[in-house]
Structure 1
Amino acid sequence: MHEMSIAEGIVQLLEDHARSQHFSRVKQIWLSIGELAGIELSALRFSLDVVTRDTLADGAIIHIDTVPGSGWCLACSQSVAIHARFDACPLCGKHQVQVSSGDEMRVAELEVD
């Protein structure tokens, strides 16, 4: 379950920013996660609940915004919506779609004290 290591990385990021920006508590976290990022959201939520205990983010409310997947079809030169990395183009049926968005993951915003 790589979501646990992702959650640990998020907590490390929060701790690093707390030191550099002088805050002591994280009240809310907004994450932006792409549909194609390969992250199981329920597993990430569970992992964050576990790894934030007794940290500056203990009890923080976690918001997750999902970014839809999209790609560029090399065969028909169109931008298309995709829901899995190796989906065929919904317009022409070819499997020549390059992911253009929806594979990212970032901490978009924090509410801190």
Structure 2
Amino acid sequence: MHELSIVMGIVKIAEDETAKIKENTVAKIELEIGQLAGVELDALNFVWESAVKDSVLEHALKTIIEIPGKAICADCNREFYLNNIFDSCPNCNSNFKGIIQGKELRVKSLEVI
């Protein structure tokens, strides 16, 4: 379950950023997580409470923005949405593509008290 290490990394980012402005409590955190990032959201939500205990995120309201997977076909140049990184182009069935979005995993914003 690598989601625990992901949450611990998020806690580290939040602690580093709040230390820069000499604050110690985050009221809200906004995360962007792409469908193709390999993050199981149920598992992330499951470990969240125990992972943020006694940290600046302990009482923070967490919002997750899911970014859909999107690619461009290398053969026919068509942009298309995909749910799985192995999906082929719906236009020409080519498996050659460039991922445009959906692999994001970032802290979009922190709101401190």
TM-score by length of 2: 0.95
Size of the aligned set, in residue pairs, is 113
1:85 matched to 2:99: no
Could you say which residue in structure 2 is the equivalent of 1:101?
101
**Letter matched to residue 79 of structure 1:** E
Hey, what's the Cα distance between the residues in 2 that align with 1:58 and 1:25? 8
Aligned equivalents of 2:67 and 2:55: distance in 1? 28
Stretches of 4+ aligned residues off by more than 6 angstroms: none
Determine if the alignment matches structure 1 residue 34 to structure 2 residue 29.
no
SS in 1 for 2:84: coil
- The DSSP-based 3-state class of the residue aligned with 2:107 is strand
* Residue 43, structure 1, aligned to residue 43, structure 2: yes
**Could you report, residue by residue, the CA deviation over 1:26-75 in whole angstroms, capped at 9, with x for unpaired residues?**
11111000110010011111222111111111121111010011011011
Read off the aligned partner of 2:80 and give its amino acid letter. Answer: V
Structure 1 vs Structure 2: percent identity of aligned residues?
A: 37
Q: Which amino acid aligns with 1:21?
A: I
Structure 2, unaligned stretches of length 5 or more? Answer: none
TM-score (ref. length: structure 1):
0.95
- Mark the runs of 5 or more structure 1 residues left unpaired by the alignment: none
